[in-house]
Amino acid sequence: MPLFRSSPPRGDKRGDPIMALVNIHFLNLQNNYLFADIAKKVNAFKVMHPKADVISLGIGDVTQPLCPAVVEAMHKAVDEMATADGFRGYGPEQGYDFLREAILQNDFRPRGVRLSLDEVFINDGAKSDTGNFQELLHWDNFIGVTDPIYPVYIDSNVMIGRCGTYRDGRWTNVHYMPTTAENGFVPELPKGRPVDVIYLCFPNNPTGTVITKQELRKWVNYALKNDALILFDAAYQAYIQDPDIPHSIYEIRGARKCAVEFRSFSKTAGFTGVRCGYTIVPKEVSVATFEGERISLNQLWLRRQCTKFNGTSYISQRAAEAIYSPEGKKQVQQTVGYYMQNAARMLSVLRGLGFECYGGEHAPYIWMRVPDGTTSWQFFEQLLYGANVVCTPGVGFGPSGEGYVRFTAFGSHEQTEEALQRIAGWANAK
């Protein structure tokens, strides 16, 4: 039955039908998405300076082509789709078994992690699932985020009304856990009111820093003690250089009972335009009803996927499978090494110019402190106008990001070197 206004009837005795109403929580989102704001500012600069050759070290998009093993697999998959016998229509919402088995065999079993096939859900990239997973949780759960952090974690919770009111750069119903130089980029466990849902991202975006097994164990123990859920973003695990640094939260005993893990092939294998990743939802992890009944998140997520997701394309999944072949592994490592060479060069030059920098050793991001008295957006504009180089203002990642900017190592060697030379010339001329 339609709803009607309480105003006096006009025409129809029952009154005028109520129009479609907006989800007011979307109106609470702050201005534009960070990277949309950057794009607007850069485009405005290009309009005013049409001859300027702008180099972006800001948005984390890759530049190197897909590796040969991936391209070959995609060609083969396309050829299959061109035949009656090889054609694939709708695939399994949770992904094809060939890719899920390859993931288990290569990403987890070598690190001592045992998972089953039905705990792996193939997606179109980690961003989608990290944003969508909160749909399974009650609207008034209290969330905690490392600060600074990837904006999607908070924004997706704002959309459902979970974050409260935005005041002085912070949401009133979000527990911010500063991850800064002052605490060695190791967030402290929440004190006082327990946190229900914890977002962790390691290697971290934007700081490029990592977490030890000892520190990660503290978070798992906290979650088990407080019946909290950890949403762990491991999109950059392939860039870890130290074998003792955990690639997966499931390397920690007990994590299967309290953690969901998100991964992506976007930065690992250059899939930003191909779109493929996966989410691990162990069958042991559960949440409670108000009556105390335990509900399996694995089953809820499967139900959600079957309702709202038609699966990742067969071609993309065959491409992802190829990175686990012997040739694919070598080629992907070469690409990862290429970007890490950029990171090492960036660290060397920027530190040589006197800038305080972090990250860049186990992740393709450099987190740089801006000069005292300068905001991150001011530095962004100074660098854009002074050197025609784009960075990302740290404040866009949260209140603790103010005073920093992020550089990415995803450019070509040539563009990275050119950008660094420009930055050096600009910095030395100041």
Sorted by where each begins, the domain ranges of the chain are 26-64+329-429, 68-326
Residue with tokens 């762990």: 232
Residues 285-302, mean pLDDT to the nearest whole number: 97
* 34/200: higher pLDDT: 200
Which H or E run includes 144? Answer: strand 143-147
Q: Tokens in use for 145?
A: 């985020």
Residues 147-171, mean pLDDT to the nearest whole number: 94
Report the interhelical angle of 68-81 vs 326-352 (nearest 10°).
130
CA atoms within 13 A on the CB side of 220: 21
Q: What is the pTM of this model?
A: 0.93
Other Cβ atoms less than 10 A from the Cβ of 310: the count is 11
Residue with tokens 């849902």: 197
The predicted pLDDT at position 160 comes to 95
Other Cβ atoms less than 10 A from the Cβ of 358: the count is 21
The band of 14, judged by pLDDT with boundaries at 50, 70 and 90, is: low
pLDDT per position as a tens digit, 307-357: 999 999 999 999 999 999 999 999 999 999 999 999 999 999 999 999 999
Q: Is the pLDDT of residue 17 over 90?
A: no
Q: Is the pLDDT of residue 6 over 50?
A: no
Peptide bond into 148 cis (omega under 30): yes
Peptide bond into 203 cis (omega under 30): yes
pLDDT per position as a tens digit, 61-105: 999 999 999 999 999 999 999 999 999 999 999 999 999 999 999
The predicted pLDDT at position 1 comes to 38
DSSP 51: T
E-only strand ranges, 265-400? 277-280, 286-288, 294-296, 357-359, 365-369, 389-390, 392-393
| Residue 271 Cα distances to 40, 310, 327, angstroms | 25, 19, 17
pLDDT per position as a tens digit, 105-158: 999 999 999 999 999 999 999 999 999 999 999 999 999 999 999 999 999 999
The band of 7, judged by pLDDT with boundaries at 50, 70 and 90, is: very low
H helices of 163-242, where? Answer: 213-226
| Residue 295 near residue 288, CB atoms below 8 Å | yes
Task: List phi, psi (to 5°) of 238.
Answer: -65, -15
What is the strand order of the sheet 404-408 is part of? Answer: 357-359, 365-369, 404-408, 392-393
CATH 3.40.640.10 holds for 68-326: yes
Lowest mean pLDDT among 94-103, 161-170, 231-240: 161-170
Single-letter amino acid code for the residue at 357? C
| Residue 120 near residue 94, CB atoms below 8 Å | yes
Residues 6+ apart with CB under 8 A from 186: 179, 211, 215
What's the chain's length in residues? 430
Would you call 277 exposed, middle or buried from its count of C-beta atoms within 10 A (0-12, 13-18, 19+)? Answer: buried
The band of 10, judged by pLDDT with boundaries at 50, 70 and 90, is: very low
pLDDT per position as a tens digit, 377-422: 999 999 999 999 999 999 999 999 999 999 999 999 999 999 999 9
Residue with tokens 């987190």: 367
Q: Is the pLDDT of residue 12 over 80?
A: no
Q: Tokens in use for 278?
A: 């996966």
* Beta-bridge partner residues of 165: none
The predicted pLDDT at position 18 comes to 74
Give the SS3 label for residue 2: coil
For the chain, give the mean pLDDT.
Answer: 94
pLDDT per position as a tens digit, 173-194: 999 999 999 999 999 999 989 9
Other Cβ atoms less than 10 A from the Cβ of 415: the count is 17
Ramachandran category for residue 185: left, alpha or beta (phi over 0 → left; psi -120 to 50 → alpha): left
Residue with tokens 């999607």: 152
**CATH number given to 26-64+329-429:** 3.90.1150.10
Q: Is the pLDDT of residue 2 over 70?
A: no
What sign does the CA torsion over 130, 132, 137, 139 have?
Answer: positive
